[in-house]
Every structure is written in C-alpha cells, then in structure tokens.
Structure 1
Amino acid sequence: MMKKFVWLLMYLFFLSCGRNSNMLYTFEKSGSNRGELELFLSYYSNNRQKKQAAEFLISGMSIKHHYSGGLIEKYDTIFHLYDSLNRVGVIEGDPLIISNTWNSLERCYGRLVKSNVEKKWDCQSLSADFLIDNVEQSFSAWKSVPDYVSKDFKDFCEFVLPYKSNDEVPEKHKERYFKEFVHLRDTAKNVVGLLLGLNRELYYNQGFRSSNILWKYPLTFPVSKMDMAHRGACRHTVALYTWIMRACGLPVAVDFVKSWGNRSQGHEWNVLMLDSGRIFPFDSFGINRLEFAYKPAKIFRRMYSLNNISEEIPSLKDVPGWLLCSDEMDVTSQYGDTYDISIPCIYPWTGDYSKKHGIICVFDNKKWKPVYWGEYKNDKMTFLRMMGDVCYMAAYYDNGKIVPATSPFILQKDGKVRYLTIDKQNCKDMILKRKYPRFKRMDLLAMSIRRGIIEGAKDKQFSDKDILLDIAKEPKDITDMQIVATKKYRYVRIRPVIYRTGDIAEIEFFGKKNLDGPEQKLTGRILGSPILSSNDAHPYTYAMDNDYDTYFSKPKNEDGYVGLDLGTSYYITRVRLCPRSDGNFIVAGHTYELCYWDEGKWISAGKKVAQDITIEFNDIPRNTFYILHDLTKGKEERIFTYENGEQVWW
C-alpha cells in the first residue's frame, strides 16, 4: 500500500513540474516491473547529476525492446558452431559448414525475421540493480576520458550512458570491457591511434571478422553471442565497437543510411564525438575517417532519447512509420552540403482525403524506396537537407503503395535540379555492358588475381612449364587475354601469386590444334590445388562450373592453381578470365529486357538474348531513365541515363 502511495506522489510530482511525459509513459508501460524502475530512480534522489542520468534512461526506455523466442534459440546453433571453430583457430570467411547449417535451419524452421519472433520491452524486464550498475560504470569511465573527445553531459547521456546499442538483449558488459580495453584508450594520443589499437586488438589479436552469412541475421545479437561468434555483419560489428568504446567512457554514436543514393541496401557505422562539436565517423575495424564508397541521400543517427524529429510529425497516412522513428535524428548536414528543394508535382494528388505530406524516394534494385518526407502544399513538395548528385523521385504514400508525384529527377552536386524530358522522336541505339554499376569494391576483388601467371606444360606435374602470360593488370568483369602461340601443351593452368588469394569466378582456355586452324574453346579434366575438401567453401572446381556467382579462392601464402588436362596437345591462343565479381555484367546466353521511364511507369523496349559480353538495343527513346533486367538470373539492377554512348548510373 505504501509503495502505491509513493508512486502516486511521484506521478503527481512529475505532472506538477511538467516533467517529460516519456518518463511517465515508461512507468505506465512497465507493468509489474514498475517497482524496479521506481527503486532505480529513488536510488539517486540525493545525487543531482546521476538523477538526471537515471531520468534520461527511463525517459527513453518506453520504446526500447529486444527479441526472444524459440526460433532465435534454434538459430543459436550458428553461434555454437562458430564458437567451436574459433577454438581451433581464427577462421576466415564463412566455412561451408556454416552456410550449410544456416540453409538447414531455414528449411527446418523458416527464415529468421522480426515478424516471426517475440518482441519484449526493456522497461518490463530490467532490474534496478542492472540499471544502477550501468550508471555507476558509465560515470566512472567517463571521468577519465581523453581531452580530444566531448565531455558535454548531453553527449554523455546519449552516447555513453545507454545500456545497449540497438535492439539486442541487454546484458552487463561495461565493467569487463572497461578493464579489457581502457589501456588502449589511455595510451592513444589521438583518434587514429585509438582506432589503430582497437583494430590491432580486435582483428589481429582476438580474431573478430566480418561475416556474409550473418547479413541474414536481422537482429543485433547480444554481447554473449558476439563473444561466441567473433564475427558479424556491419550492424553487429558496429554494436561491438559501440559497447567497447562506451564502456571506456567514449561518446560513440551509430549513424546510418537506410538506402544509398546509387546502389541497393544501406549501411551503418560508428561516430566518435569530439570536443568543440566535431565528429569522427569510422567503420568498424577501420583506422581512418570514413569515406563513403557510395552516395548517401539521407543520414540518420540512432539516439537514446525520443522525439528527435525536428519538423512537424506527419500522419501515418502520408508517410510510412519507419521514416518517423522518434529515436532517430537527421544528421545529413554534418556530412556535406545539403539542399532544401521544392519540387512541382506533375501528377497532383487526387485521393479522397487531403494530403499534407509527401515522400522522396531513391531507387533500390527493382523499386522506389522512401528515404525522407516533406510538406505537400499547392501541388509542390518541399524536402529539407537533401544530399546532391543523387536521382530522386517525389511520391505520395497511399496505403503502403508508392504513387509517383513526379518523374525521376537529378539533384546535382551544386544543388540545382535537373529534369529529363523524354524524346521519342529522335531515337538512338544503345550498347550496354552492365545492369548494375561497377563499384571500387570490384577492383579490390580483382586485385587478388594480379601478378598471377598462365602456365603451359607437357608434363602433368608442370616440371617443364612455360609462362604463357603474366597478369600484370587486374582484369575487369570478363576479360579476354591474348597469348602468342609458339608451342603445344597438354596441360594448362592459372597459378595465382602466392601472397594473394587469387579469387577466380570463371576461367576458359582457347586454342588451336594447328596454327592455321580455327580457334576453339578447350575442354578436359579439371586439375587444381589445394586438394578438394568437404569443408572448402571455394574449391578450385568453382573456377570452371559456368557460374559467375561462385569462385575459387586459395589461402594466402599457400600455393594453389586451377587448370586442365586437355588429353592431347594444343596451341594456347587465348584466356577468358573473370575474377570474383558481382556477376552484373552481360552474360552470353542470358535474356535481357531494357525498359525506359515514361509517364510515371517503366515501358519495355524489348527483350534480347545476349550473344557476347555486350548487348545492343535499337531505336530507344532519348533523354530519360533506363533499367536493364536480367530475366535469366540475378537481383541487382540500377537505373541509368545514356550519355555520350555510355551508361551513367544513378
């Protein structure tokens, strides 16, 4: 009875003082756990600053949640498997046993998606002891932070004090991480030195790695599972850095792009808050200031506090709810020039209710995806703080559907809006090389085959080998390399340089039986090294399986090769090589469809089967946006304009 009376007094006190309504909502939502939150708050009644911190935590806790349930427990098999592999030694990539186990789990139990697991609210489960420990550890670590980071109390509350990074199960970790990593903080002279120390410790000493398989894991897993896996997708490794650096009192935020402006998907990274309001964004395992590999349209920061939307919050009729998260802040202008744009709507709203807001979209593979929202008034839409050098489309949101309000337009680097007006009178022919842009990452992948050599021999052991070609320059997509034929060989192979992995998606050898005869593709028995193993995720046979999505990769500093026993001797005249890549180039035998944008929709310009590494479409309308579909295989696609005979990607 006394406890209820105390709560009533607290409630009336909050109301009379105009305290944050979010704190009251958290207490109301906490249910049977409300006593723990009351105890936590009352613990700091005589310490003004820590009381403010406690109130801050409770105010933002009302929407904080995590996930649980039987499906998550089934997928824990992956973490136990990683743990057993890590005990043997650091593993690179995702071994075949990992991907096979994941596929087996999906077949048996279904995909791991948020809609199939149980959401639990933090305020209904966290104890006073847990929260008090978090506050004490946070203040203790914050007192001794270096001078180059922010010591602002607001930054402390937002980016040091929180007990979790995202939607993971809350676990105590700050005391352990502080003891383990604070020496890296205290011995670093600057930010780069700090990140260098963390990279050396986490990547090289403790063997943390990125994982492609865990891209499929849609949740932020907790500290205990990270301890087991020692790897994750970007959301997981970003959480790792957040836990560690906040445990050391360092104010670290998480910034993210929901959808890139020139490619599919998004990304997130860490940001260290520096003195004088400066920021230092960086990728996990990185040591330098973040440089974008892709174009951002809008950038947001995950906050602990709520109500971080700076403009009038629109109706869910006008804007999808996931664009209106109250714990996300628009920080686009912290990363470069932004522009406020007002776009005339060439397709005015004709619905049965009055719209006050619209959305602005970027293209994401096969559809337009909203990235922000703005005011809709007098048949114009106004969007604030937009990044330039990006193609956008303004639209209406109507019962989950994206309804174009404009044609796509380009917001140029200088902030000027460029509109395209389709020209159907002066058509043109188009020679296309790809359906998706080639990013710098592909050059890095292709680098693994540089300095590899093509060898021919008459002896199976290559004891009498001759070097036919030295790959001095990394090939791009599918590349033909000519060889001057002077001798016949029965055995031919490609041997990557020993200090690289030599990632090869496909290799084909061409030759002649006689020098004056016709060239032909050579076939035979596949040879290779290392020896085939059931746990080899990238065996040498993958370089000759007619699948550009698979590839042969050998361990660094070990010998390896793939080649053919031709059965008889040939003059070797040409090698067609494709390094590990994205598979988005033109593939002979695949069926492609070219579409162009006209009157608010995509119009097909026809379908063709590719005969070589380019494909030509004839009599295509000018001055609009285009998209090339591979109807045979593949998911990634990107819109482009066609300028001076080249595809320009948007």
Structure 2
Amino acid sequence: MAYALDFAGENRKELEKVLDYYAEDSQKLEAARFLIRNMPRYYGYEGWRLDSIQKILITAEQKHFIDDSILRKWTKQSLYSLPKIYDAHIIKADYLIENIDLSFKMWKERPWNQDLPFEDFCELILPYRIDDEPLSNWRQNYFEVYFSALDSLSNCTDPLRACNALSKELSKKEFFYTVNFDMPHLSAHFLLEHHVGFCREICDRAVYAMRACGIPGTVDMFVYSPEYQGSHQWNVVRGKNGVFYPFWTSWYEMDNNMKGDGRKKGKIYRQCFGMQKEAIEGITSRRNVPPLFKNRFIKDATTDYIGTNKITVEVEVKEPYIYLGVFSPNGWIPIDVGENMGGNVTFHNVEQNLIYQTLYSDSDTLKMAGYPFLYTQDTIHPFIPETKHTERAALHRKMSLVKGIKAFLYRYIIGVRIEGSKNLSFRNPRQLLALQDTLTSNYHEFVSSDTSLVRYIRYNSPLERSIELAEIAFWEDLDMKKEIPAKVINDLVPLHPANSIDKINDKEILSFFESQDTTCHLLFDLGKEVSVKKILLCPRNDDNYIWPGDEYELFYNNGINGWISLGKQKAKERVLYYDVPANALFWLRNLTKGKEEQIFFCREGVQYFVTNLP
C-alpha cells in the first residue's frame, strides 16, 4: 500500500480521500485498499493514432470489410509505443468511490452472489478496468443497457443461469471479427457501441456487462495453440460451487458440463486484477526469464479444465529453470516452467494428447533442453530418432487441420449437385456430379457422371446452405487441356463484399465466394453445347496441402542438436515422399509460400498431427 501511495505522487491525495471516505466501513475499506494496492500496474495509452484506429474499426463494422490500403498502412504499426498514462497519476476519488459503491450494491443485492466470498468479489466484480484500455466510467452505462436481460431472474440463486441470460443478450448483435491491428484494449464505451475486434474484444465486452450486472466473471486464455498458430481467450463465470465455467457469447451458452470448446490448449491461464504468487519463488527477479512467467497478474487455471496430473521429464542441460514449450514456426513457445532437479524436471497439470518440448534460456533465446515428446494416457513418448532405421513416409499436409475448422470449411459442400442442360429451363437436366461425403483435400478433379452435350450448368447448394466455393472450372477432355469458358449469368449477392462472385475462377485457391442467400444456385453459360468430361472443384480451404510446383524442405528434431534437414523437394504431385528416421518428430516447410506449419510424426508411413492421433 505504501508503495502505491508513493507511486501516485501528486495524485496521492485522491487515493487517500478514498481511504478516508471508507474509514468506518471495514469491508469497503479493504476493497479500496485492494484496488489501490494493485493500481501501479495499470495504465492506458493516449495519442491520435488510437482515434484513427477506432474510426477504421467503425467503418469495418459497418461495411464488414477493410480496404487493402488501410491494412497496408496500419497492420505494421504497433500502438504500444504510445505514451502511457498510469491510473495512479490521474484517477480521482469520486471515480473510485462510485465504482466501489456500485460493485458492492451488485454483490449484496443479487441473490446468486449470496455465497460469493469477498476475495472472489474483489477479483470478479470490483475491478474498475480490465487491462490497458483507456480509463472510463463504464459501470452504470453497461448496467442500464444489459440489466433488463436479467429482469426475470430476481429470485435466481444460480450465477450460471444469470450468465446465460446475459450471454443471449450479448449475442444478439453481430460481431465483426478482425485480427489485423496490433493495438491496446479498446475502451469500455467504444465496445458498448461498436461490436468489432477479435476474441479479446468479445471477452472484454462480456466482462464489463457481467461485472456491471453483478455476475462474477473474468477471462481465461491459452498462450499459443498446440494445433494451429495463435492465442485465444474466452469468458468464464464462477458458479456458486466455486467452479469456473467457460462460455463464448458469439457461439454458445455455458452449462454445468462445459469444460471448453474442444480446442487443445496445453496450459490455461486466468486474468486477475490483483497480484498473484510467483510460479517459482524468486523467478520474476531473474534475467532472461520469458515474460509469461514474470506476469504476476495471471494464474494457472488448467485444473479447472483437465483436473490434476504431473509429468517428470529428463533434460540434458544444467540450467535451473526449464520451460515446457509448444511448437511455433518461429521457435518453441514456453507455456509452463519447472525447476531442474539434477536432470529431471516436473511439470504440473498439463493437457494430454499433445507434443511438447523442454527448453532453457540462453541469454535472449530459448534452446532445446532434450528430446520432444508426446504426452498421452499419462505416459511420455519421447521422439528419439532412430537414424539407422528408416521408413517411407507419404506427406499430404504441412499443417494440422483442426476437426472443427475442417467441418466449418466443408459444411457447404456435402449435398452439392451439379447439373447440365441444353436449355435454361433445365427441363431434362443431366446430373454431372453429386457430392455426398466430406472432401479430403482442397483440390478435386472429378470425372463427370454424364457426358451428354450441355450448354448450361447449374451448381445447386445443399438444402438451406449458402454457396461457399473457392474455385470451379470445367473441361471437355480428361487430360484437362481444354478448359471450357464458363460465365456466371445469374446475380448472387455475396455475404461480404470481399467474397465476390469473381473469386470462383480467379486461380487463387485462398479466395472464395460466399452467397448471402441460403436457397440459391450458380448458373453458368458455356457459350455453346459441349460435353463436360471433367470438373475442378475447390471448397473454401486453408491451402496447407502439398501443392505441385512448390518447393518443400523436411526436418526432423534431434533434441539439443536442433532441427536436421532431410532435404528439399519440388512437389510434382499432391503428395511428397521421404525416407525418414523412425520414431522422429518432423517439421515440413513450404519454401515457396505460406507460413502455417505444424509438427507431426509418422507411423508405418502415415502422417499424424495432434489433431488426428492414431
């Protein structure tokens, strides 16, 4: 407390006013002390560039589109270099008093909070800010907008029911998702009016609404995905049993049985307002420790999702701290830390069915401390390459394909029917192709099931589904040397301007058309009657399959010796073949294009990522 008051400098008198104001109310006084004690950690940013980004986001929300010129200008700019404005230097007593009084009112009056301990109240309802957003007086505004959604719950004692009712209200307005800008948190007032940003902004808006309405909640996150590239965060609410339950306002409601959205996480951390214990005593004062383990305002929440466990791993270095990492093409990302006890390190509460790597810090870089391993069924399977024993491996992808994303990408393909006709009325249509199964790749060449002469082709979407398609083309020969010019002759409105109809034949497999209508078809005029022998079809996809003409390089992991190349290949077909050491971990790089890559292993020549473990 003394440090916080000293840190406030000339603004100290405002903080002391708050302490004096609650001198006769011990509980509110302790709440005030909690906020002030942790206040030196909190600040916002200021500068004209923040206003500019907000204007861009407002336009993006309205248009559901961001111009390429805007992206080129702003995606390389980090707003974290702007001047910091520390709360302790500017915050006013009236602001803190109003925040504390409104928080206590919600805590004491809401029946679902009757068993909420004071310590949890301080973390989950009381805080006046989330992170580094501009400071604002938001609590009453959010209460006036969202509390009516809880009118029917005046006697409800279950915070989960209250959270579900609020979640429904939050999900009513569409959220425009963009990850293009490197920026601090947006202000509470901005998010009340504008639903735009990425998962962080969705979570922030929910936290403001929850706390304003007296629902105890915060945000959980994983640092870096063990399946795909990037971090993620989501909201959690504290149940009356003290257990935290996750929910995501844009996709689903939370229930008593929910433990996550199915994504692999490795380790989960919870955002806190108050300072937490060090992961290892004294670690935050040591040099060359990754920032994650110096952050005293998060805590390990993995046990809420997977229960408890521990693993002990051998390492080949003598460094005191050993980190547990997940793969990134730019270097392993540390997600946990343990102490090196004579060549063995123990990690607690780690998600299973994932591949990990032990790491140590060497100056400003992280290096491998041993062999990577697969942790599954409470057993460690180290990848120690057997270079004298090789197998022939067939490689089809350089990146894992998460099951949920695979289903999302291909959901508009199952049930597609492609018909041909000599007349526009399609009086006697010929079925050229019918898709009943999920496609297994991003590029498919189909032999037409009917080669009768046709002039018009109709691509029918599945029942009550939009059309979502990356590429479609037609040939009059099986060797695909005579492409048939095909012109779209019906007007279809794209769901978003960026996904226009011209994308279906622009030879760019990552671009795609998505229709606004869910009961529509694509109508093509071939210009003349012709026999369609072959059809090219590419669903919306990620372009991480092997692509002919691209150059690739395969590496295997050799522990502390790093990644060893197995040579480069220019793909001649949609599969690569390599002779690889047995029991090794691999990394396939596309040297021509792309940046999404993930590690895998092989068994009997078959490629396995953590998303499709055998």
User: What TM-score comes out, normalization by structure 1 length?
Assistant: 0.86
Report the Cα offset of residue 57 of structure 1.
Answer: 0.6
3-state SS in 2 of match to 1:492: strand
Q: Sequence identity of aligned pairs in percent?
A: 27
In the alignment, which residue of structure 2 is the partner of 1:613?
574
Contact 1:338 1:388 in 2 (8 A): no
The 2-side partners of 1:535 and 1:275 are apart by: 43
Tell me the alpha carbon deviations over residues 195-252 of structure 1, each in whole angstroms, 9 at most, x when there is no partner.
Answer: 5433442333xx23140x2453432101222234322210000001100011111110
The 2-side partners of 1:453 and 1:411 are apart by: 44
Q: 1:345 to 1:119 in 2, by over 3 A?
A: same
The 1-side partners of 2:414 and 2:150 are apart by: 39
Tell me the alpha carbon deviations over residues 604-644 of structure 1, each in whole angstroms, 9 at most, x when there is no partner.
Answer: 21222223332222x22221001111112111100001013
**Equivalent position to 1:628, from 584, 588, 594:** 588
In the alignment, which residue of structure 1 is the partner of 2:264?
295
Q: 1:313 to 1:465 in 2, by over 3 A?
A: farther
The answer to whether 1:381 aligns with 2:345 is yes
The 2-side partners of 1:77 and 1:465 are apart by: 51
Contact 2:400 2:598 in 1 (8 A): yes
For structure 1, list consecutive stretches of 5 or more residues without a partner in the other structure. Answer: 1-22, 86-90, 350-354
3-state SS in 2 of match to 1:335: helix
In the alignment, which residue of structure 1 is the partner of 2:377?
413
Output the amino acid matched with 1:437: S
Report the Cα offset of residue 588 of structure 1.
Answer: 2.3
The 2-side partners of 1:507 and 1:104 are apart by: 30
For structure 2, list consecutive stretches of 5 or more residues without a partner in the other structure. Answer: none
Output the amino acid matched with 2:138: H
Tell me the alpha carbon deviations over residues 12-53 of structure 1, each in whole angstroms, 9 at most, x when there is no partner.
Answer: xxxxxxxxxxx2222122222222111122111111111111
**Equivalent position to 1:591, from 551, 571, 577:** 551
The 1-side partners of 2:204 and 2:168 are apart by: 18
Contact 1:61 1:122 in 2 (8 A): yes
In the alignment, which residue of structure 2 is the partner of 1:61?
39
Q: 1:559 to 1:596 in 2, by over 3 A?
A: same
Report the Cα offset of residue 499 of structure 1.
Answer: 2.9
Contact 2:57 2:197 in 1 (8 A): no
**Equivalent position to 1:236, from 201, 205, 226:** 201
Contact 2:398 2:544 in 1 (8 A): yes
In the alignment, which residue of structure 2 is the partner of 1:339?
309
The 2-side partners of 1:277 and 1:603 are apart by: 48
Contact 1:319 1:373 in 2 (8 A): no
The 2-side partners of 1:424 and 1:224 are apart by: 60
3-state SS in 2 of match to 1:317: coil
Output the amino acid matched with 2:85: K
Report the Cα offset of residue 560 of structure 1.
Answer: 4.8
Report the Cα offset of residue 308 of structure 1.
Answer: 3.1
3-state SS in 2 of match to 1:396: strand
Describe how 1:153-552 pairs up with structure 2 within 5 A: 153-188=118-153, 193-204=161-172, 207-211=173-177, 213-285=178-250, 286-288=252-254, 289-314=258-283, 315-346=285-316, 348-349=317-318, 355-414=319-378, 416-439=379-402, 440-459=404-423, 465-478=429-442, 479-497=444-462, 499-512=464-477, 520=481, 522-527=483-488, 529-530=490-491, 536-552=497-513
Contact 1:475 1:577 in 2 (8 A): no
In the alignment, which residue of structure 2 is the partner of 1:578?
538
Contact 2:312 2:344 in 1 (8 A): yes
Contact 1:381 1:394 in 2 (8 A): no
Tell me the alpha carbon deviations over residues 135-185 of structure 1, each in whole angstroms, 9 at most, x when there is no partner.
Answer: 111111122224378521111100000012222112112112223222323
Output the amino acid matched with 2:261: F
Output the amino acid matched with 1:610: A
> Which deviates the most, 474-483 or 432-441?
474-483
The answer to whether 1:141 aligns with 2:106 is yes
In the alignment, which residue of structure 2 is the partner of 1:352?
none
Report the Cα offset of residue 561 of structure 1.
Answer: 2.2
> Which deviates the most, 335-344 or 517-526?
517-526
Q: Aligned pair count?
A: 599
Q: 1:282 to 1:518 in 2, by over 3 A?
A: closer
The 1-side partners of 2:96 and 2:69 are apart by: 37
Output the amino acid matched with 1:342: T
Output the amino acid matched with 2:520: D
Contact 1:150 1:251 in 2 (8 A): no
In the alignment, which residue of structure 1 is the partner of 2:71?
103
The 2-side partners of 1:159 and 1:64 are apart by: 17
Report the Cα offset of residue 186 of structure 1.
Answer: 4.3
Contact 1:363 1:369 in 2 (8 A): yes
Tell me the alpha carbon deviations over residues 314-364 of structure 1, each in whole angstroms, 9 at most, x when there is no partner.
Answer: 143352133220111111112113433332222x24xxxxx4222221102
Output the amino acid matched with 2:274: S
Q: 1:150 to 1:408 in 2, by over 3 A?
A: farther
The 2-side partners of 1:636 and 1:133 are apart by: 48
In the alignment, which residue of structure 2 is the partner of 1:16?
none
In the alignment, which residue of structure 2 is the partner of 1:13?
none
The 1-side partners of 2:490 and 2:577 are apart by: 40
Report the Cα offset of residue 273 of structure 1.
Answer: 0.7
The 1-side partners of 2:52 and 2:22 are apart by: 41
Q: 1:201 to 1:326 in 2, by over 3 A?
A: same
The 2-side partners of 1:385 and 1:251 are apart by: 25
Q: 1:146 to 1:611 in 2, by over 3 A?
A: farther
The 1-side partners of 2:302 and 2:494 are apart by: 48
Contact 2:473 2:486 in 1 (8 A): no
Q: 1:613 to 1:99 in 2, by over 3 A?
A: same
Tell me the alpha carbon deviations over residues 278-323 of structure 1, each in whole angstroms, 9 at most, x when there is no partner.
Answer: 2211123321335333222111111111133353131433521332
The 2-side partners of 1:284 and 1:521 are apart by: 50
The 2-side partners of 1:534 and 1:579 are apart by: 16
Contact 2:398 2:597 in 1 (8 A): yes
In the alignment, which residue of structure 1 is the partner of 2:607?
647
Q: CA RMSD in A?
A: 2.6
The 1-side partners of 2:427 and 2:162 are apart by: 51
3-state SS in 1 of match to 2:409: helix
Output the amino acid matched with 1:287: E
3-state SS in 2 of match to 1:543: helix
Output the amino acid matched with 1:443: A
The 1-side partners of 2:16 and 2:428 are apart by: 82
Tell me the alpha carbon deviations over residues 433-486 of structure 1, each in whole angstroms, 9 at most, x when there is no partner.
Answer: 111111121212211233332122334686775443333334233334443124
Contact 1:142 1:248 in 2 (8 A): no
Contact 1:317 1:398 in 2 (8 A): no
Contact 2:467 2:518 in 1 (8 A): no
The 2-side partners of 1:648 and 1:150 are apart by: 47
The 2-side partners of 1:230 and 1:282 are apart by: 18
The 1-side partners of 2:546 and 2:587 are apart by: 14
Tell me the alpha carbon deviations over residues 410-454 of structure 1, each in whole angstroms, 9 at most, x when there is no partner.
Answer: 22232x221122112221211111111111212122112333321
The 2-side partners of 1:174 and 1:534 are apart by: 35
Contact 2:354 2:376 in 1 (8 A): yes
Contact 2:166 2:210 in 1 (8 A): no
Contact 2:495 2:514 in 1 (8 A): no
